[in-house]
Structure 1
Amino acid sequence: MYDYVIVGAGSAGCVLASRLAEDPDVTVCLIEAGPADSSQNIHVPAAFAKLFRTQYDWDYDSHDEEHLNGRRVYLPRGRVLGGTSSINTQIYIRGNALDYDGWNRPGWSWDEVLPYFLRSENHEGGSGPHHAVGGPLDVAAGRSRNPMSEAFIEAAVEVGHDRNDDFNAGAQDGVGFFELTQRGGWRVSTATAFLHAQSRPNLTVETNVQVHRVVIEDGRATGVVGARLDDELRFDARREVILSAGTYNSPQLLQLSGIGPAGLLQAFEIPVVVDRPEVGQNLQDHMLIPLIYTHSEPISLLAAGAPENVERLMADGTGPLTSNGPEAGGFARTRSDLPAPDIELLAAPVMFVDNGLGVPTAHALSFGPSPITPSSRGSVGLASPDPTTKPRIVHNYLATEDDLAAAAQGLRIALEIAGAPALRRFTETAFRTPDSTDEAGLRDYARRYGHSIYHPVGTCAMGAVVDDELAVRGVAGLRVVDASVMPTIPRGNTNAPTIMIAEKAADIIRAKQASEAERVAATPTRS
């Protein structure tokens, strides 16, 4: 029996568990389906793709994507302490102020969420109007700075983009190096920052336990049941059960627990607790549409694992093994009338083929646009009542005219940069580029080669599935705290916004706890 049971030790769950456990009078249980984050490949930044389709990955694929020529898209998600923050590219981007103001949810405007971004942060460059020090999460400049990454920035400037040294300092437009969740050249996941950095006797962490459903009794969540190997387990919660299982798994768990579209649940003979058609809807993600050029200069990440580079990493935290992959990039607008960027550019000094699943065979530069304000919407639903079956995920990428137009114009922007003088020595041979640069050719290329850039959000959105305090509508004692609660996707990488959500949720939960304590204290006792 615990006060709080949290399902999922990822970008949100680790933060929330650590913050709630700061109160020594409460007990917290954090449950992770995967193992501990002990693999060296987790902590070496450049090794992130080596974790794909391993025990540390949920190893999801989308269902056939109608608007991507029927392709299935690989969807890596962390199944390990730290969740996807243990296998991602470590880019620290908060998004645009318009994103949060656009949510139009009380308490979630930009001015209201910025303090929670700052509370987490320990910025290498010190504190200031846009950054803070003293938080658990290290944010630092990358230490690789490959010549190709610098050349990409110079090329973008040559064709008219501004240089931007800090995408989190107000203005997003422009190009530069990304800031990263790293310390001394090593990855900093939320497990590293919030769990391992401090030990709390009132926080229990259970690994290798897959939760099967939430226990709901008389309209209230009272715990969860799951299994470790063949051992069935139950964890009871005095106060709350909190799902931090992510955009794919949180709606799946709600549906397995009888909260979701009644027709779907009945089809799988799951008793309906709350008919909530919105559970699993509103799925959004960012795509990357990569261009790949090969060249003859031996400076890519192709040989990053060479003994001399291992020695550099171990000695002083430098060298190509500190690379996060997409070291450089930026933000641009495909139309002059837009209020903020709608394209993120990402550039990596490596041949990044088949969504990271392919083996690089030559020195190469990969870069391209990621449309960051998609209007296409997908869904997550059960494929079986068996909780170990993967959910049915359909993203509906490029389903709308606006998304196709943004993809094509984003490719034009990237191709213009590719032709700039600063990049000529790295774009000797087009390994993967559009056959035609007319509108039809660019749209076809996006459909053929666009893939996820791992930012799914929205399937338990505020105002639909949860309220503005992230409580599940229709069930007491149950919340969702992860990227699935975002009504719309931010302009940029989603790890930092997910951490922010958990920071704010901790305050919401503690405020409720304090209010209940005051109410109990004010209740007259009977003699």
Structure 2
Amino acid sequence: MYDYVIVGGGSAGCVLAARLSEDPDVKVCLIEAGLTDASPNIHVPAGAAKLFRTRHDWDYDSHHEPFCADRRIYLPRGRVLGGTSSINGMIYTRGHRQDYDSWEQPGWSYDELHPYFLRAEDNERGASAHHGAGGPLAVSDNRSRNPMSDAFIAAAIEAGYSANDDFNGPEQDGFAYYQVTQRDGMRCSSAVAYLRPAVERPNLTVETGVQVVRVVMEGARATGIVGWRGDDTVTIRAEREVVLTAGAYNSPQLLMLSGIGPADLLTALGIPVVVDQPLVGQNLQDHPQFWLVYGHNQPVSLLVAGEERYQRQFAEHHSGPLSSNGPEAGGFVRSRPGLPAPDLQFVSLPVMYVDGGLGAPSQHALSFGAYVLQPRSRGSVTLASDDPTAKPRITHNYYADEADLRTAVDGVRVALDIARQRALTPYTERPVSVPASDSEADIRDFLRRNTQSSYHAAGSCAMGMVTDAELRVLGTEGLRVADASVMPRLISGNTNAPTIAIAEKAADLVRGLAPLSPDLSAVTSH
């Protein structure tokens, strides 16, 4: 018996476990389907490329995407302590102020959430009005500094865009290196940042290798979970609350397996209906992303990372190619005048990126492209079976709304313009994956056949639809969701930092603490 049972030891779950167990009078259990984060490929930043479709990945694919040439698109998700923060590209961005204000949920405006970003953060640049210092999550400047990343930034400035040394500062627009969630050149996942310092507390239990198959509901109240560890059934009871932090695909799946979801679907699958909630799994969002790839003869891509000199550099200084987060540089662009905020985010990767990250690089290359930041298209997560081990049916519906495709076309044109700049001449010798021409038809065809996920799934248990503003699942007691799935609208940037901030605030909501004051300008160690 525990006071709180947290399902999912990822970006949000590690935060909740650490914060709730700060109170020695409560007992907390964190449950993770995967194993511990012991693999060196997790902690050496450039090793992330080797984690896809391994035991550390849920290895999901979308269903056939009707507006993307009917392709199934690879959707990696971390199945390990730290969750996707243990396998992601480590970019630290928060999105735009208007994203949070547009949620129109009490307590979740940008000004109200900003103190939680600061509380989480330990930025090596120090505390300021826009950054925290002394928090659990290390945020650092990039230590790789690949010459192709330098050239990409220079080419964007040659193309007329501004420089911006802080995408989380006063303005989002412009190009630069991204800050990353690393400490001393090593990955700083939520497991490293939050769980590792807390794991020895006697009131915190971490269960790994347990796949939760349903929340135990007694009437409308959540009283625990049932899970499977191999062939054994595990039952864990919660005296106060069950909190789902399993992510935008698995949290709605677990709700439906527990009888909370669309009654017609649950009845058809033979799952007893506890709460008829047709919006569970709906409102799914992601940033559709395209990549342009150019081959060249300069021996500077991440293919050289395994060379002895670079292994020695990393061992001695934790810098160089092995410290690369992958998408080292990029920027934010408004595709047309008059927009209130950027609608495209660019990323540049100093290696050949093919087949959604699943293909092996065959030559030195530069890859760069953009996300559509405010997609209007909506998808869904539904059950394909009542068997909890069956993967959920995921459809993102990328480009279902014509406006998203229009923005992506604009993004390709910006990318092609950057590619033509003098600074990139040494690295754009051979087009490997680019549109057949710059015509509208060819760009649209390229996008439909080459768009990938940005791995930023959100919105499938949204506040105001599935939960209230305190993240309590509507129609239930003792049950909350606290991960990226609660975002009513996807934020304009990478989702890891916002998910951690959501979990920081969720911890205060669960504990009944007063919210941090939005008047705070900087926060040190909490």
1:118-146: CA deviations, max 9, x gaps? 00000001111111111010000010000
Deviation readout 1:427-461 (Å, 9 max, x if unpaired): 01111110021111111111110100100000000
Tell me if 1:37 matches 2:40. no
How far apart are the structure 2 equivalents of 1:136 and 1:513?
21
Per-residue displacement from partner, 1:199-244 (whole Å, max 9, x unpaired)? 3111100000000000000210000001100110001000000000
Q: What residue identity is the alignment partner of 1:297? A: Q
Separation in 2, partners of 1:145, 1:220: 52
- Equivalent residue, structure 2, for 1:311: 312
Distance in 2 of aligned mates of 1:184 and 1:301:
20
User: Partner letter of residue 334 of structure 2?
Assistant: R
Indicate the SS of the match to 2:467. Answer: coil
**How far, CA to CA, are the matches of 1:95 and 1:512 in structure 2?**
26
Match of 2:522 in 1: none
Shift of 1:355: 1.1
In the alignment, what sits opposite 2:403?
402
**Which residue of structure 2 lines up, in the alignment, with residue 98 of structure 1?**
98
Distance 2:63 2:513 in 1: 40
Residue 298 of structure 1: aligned partner: 299
Partner secondary structure for residue 344 of structure 1 = strand
Structure 1's consecutive aligned runs of 4 or more residues displaced over 3 angstroms after TM superposition are none
CA–CA separation in structure 2 for the residues paired with 1:512 and 1:292: 49
The within-5 A match list for 1:259-278 is 259-278=260-279
CA displacement at 1:512 relative to structure 2? 6.9
2:235 corresponds to: 234
Structure-2 residue corresponding to 1:503: 504
| 2:477 match: secondary structure | coil
Report the alpha carbon displacement of residue 309 of structure 1 after superposing the two structures with TM: 1.6
Partner Cα separation in structure 1 for residue 124 and residue 138 of structure 2: 7
Indicate the residue corresponding to 1:519 in structure 2: none
| TM-score (normalised: structure 1) | 0.97
- The 8 Å contact of residues 93 and 493 in structure 2, kept in 1 or not, is answered as yes
**1:360 corresponds to 2:357:** no
- The aligned counterpart of 1:253 is 254
1:405 is matched by which residue type in structure 2?
R
Does the aligned pair in 1 maintain the 2:296–2:365 contact within 8 Å?
A: yes
1:179 counterpart SS class: coil
**Structure 1 residue 197, shift from structure 2 partner:** 2.5
* CA distance in structure 2 between the partners assigned to 1:186 and 1:142 by the alignment: 11
Q: Which amino acid aligns with 1:471?
A: R
Mark the CA change 1:513 to 1:297 in structure 2 (over 3 Å): closer, same or farther: closer
Q: 1:78 & 1:305 partners in 2: Cα distance? A: 24
* TM-superposition CA deviations, 1:83-140 (whole Å, max 9, x none): 0000000000010000001111110001000000000000001111111111010000
Q: Trace 1:167-178 onto structure 2 (pairs within 5 A).
A: 167-178=167-178
Contact 2:508/2:514, CA 8 A, preserved across alignment: no
- Per-residue deviation, residues 439-497 of structure 1 (Å, max 9, x unmatched): 11111111110100100000000000000000000010000000000000000000000
> Equivalent residues in 2 for 1:22-421 (5 A)?
22-198=22-198, 199-421=200-422
- What amino acid does structure 2 have at the position aligned with 1:476? E
Alignment partners' CA distance in 2, 1:390 and 1:439: 37
CA distance in 2, matches of 1:67, 1:401: 10
Does the residue aligned with 1:366 lie in a helix, a strand or coil?
strand
1:306 Cα deviation (Å)? 1.9
Matching residue's letter, 1:463: G
- RMSD (Å), alpha carbons: 1.0
What CA distance in whole angstroms lies between the structure 1 residues aligned with 2:311 and 2:462? 43
3-state SS of 1:36 partner: coil
Distance in 2 (alpha carbons) for counterparts of 1:135 and 1:461: 27
Cα 1:489–1:433 change in 2 (3 A) is same
* 1:455 alignment partner in structure 2: 456
Superposed CA offset, 1:478-521 (max 9, x none)? 0000000000000000000000000000111111799xxxxxxx
Number of residue pairs the alignment of both structures matches: 514
Give the partner amino acid of 2:87.
I
3-state DSSP of counterpart to 1:369: strand
Q: Please give the alpha-carbon distance, in whole angstroms, between the structure 2 residues aligned to 1:513 and 1:39.
A: 39
2: CA distance, partners of 1:266 / 1:57: 31
Partner of 1:517: none
SS in structure 1 opposite 2:26? coil
Change (3 A) 1:363 1:176: same
Q: Deviation digits for residues 379-405 of structure 1, max 9, x if unmatched?
A: 000010000110000000011110010
Cα distance in 1 for partners of 2:433, 2:62 equals 23
Partners of 2:406 and 2:477 in 1: CA distance: 44
Q: C-alpha separation between the residues in 2 aligned to 1:390 and 1:411? A: 33
Aligned counterparts of 1:513 and 1:423: Cα–Cα separation in 2: 51
Taking structure 1 as reference, are residues 2 and 352 closer, same or farther at Cα in structure 2, changes over 3 Å only?
same
Using the TM superposition, give the Cα deviation of residue 315 of structure 1 relative to its aligned residue in structure 2, in angstroms.
1.2
* Pairwise CA distance, 1:194: 0.4
Deviation at 1:305, TM superposition (A): 1.6
- SS of corresponding position for 1:460: coil
| Letter of the structure 1 residue corresponding to residue 168 of structure 2 | N
Q: Which residue is 1:521 aligned to?
A: none
1:60 deviates by 0.1
Q: Counterpart of 2:102 in 1: which secondary structure?
A: helix
Whole-angstrom CA distance in 2 between matches of 1:219 and 1:325: 45
CA distance in 2, matches of 1:439, 1:403: 14
1:338-389 C-alpha deviation (Å, 9 max, x unpaired):
1000000000100011111000011000001111110000000001000011
Identity of aligned residues (%): 62
Q: What secondary structure, in the 3-state scheme, does the structure 2 residue paired with 1:29 have?
A: strand
TM-fit CA distance, 1:308: 2.1
Which whole-Å deviations, capped at 9, do the CAs of 1:141-196 have from their partners, x for residues lacking one?
Answer: 01000000000000000011000000000211000000000011110000000011
SS at match of 1:191: helix
Give the partner amino acid of 1:85: S
1:466 is matched with 467
Conserved? CA contact 2:58–2:76, under 8 Å: yes
Cα deviations by residue, 1:8-54 (Å, 9 ceiling, x for unpaired): 00000000110000000001000000000000000011111200000
- Once the two structures are superposed, residues 306-342 of structure 1 have per-residue CA deviations (whole angstroms, 9 ceiling, x without a partner) of 2222221111101100001110000001111210000
Give 2:415's aligned amino acid. A
Contact 2:219 2:274 survives alignment (8 Å): no
SS of equivalent to 1:48: helix
Change (3 A) 1:166 1:512: closer
1: CA distance, partners of 2:373 / 2:95: 10
Distance 2:454 2:370 in 1: 11
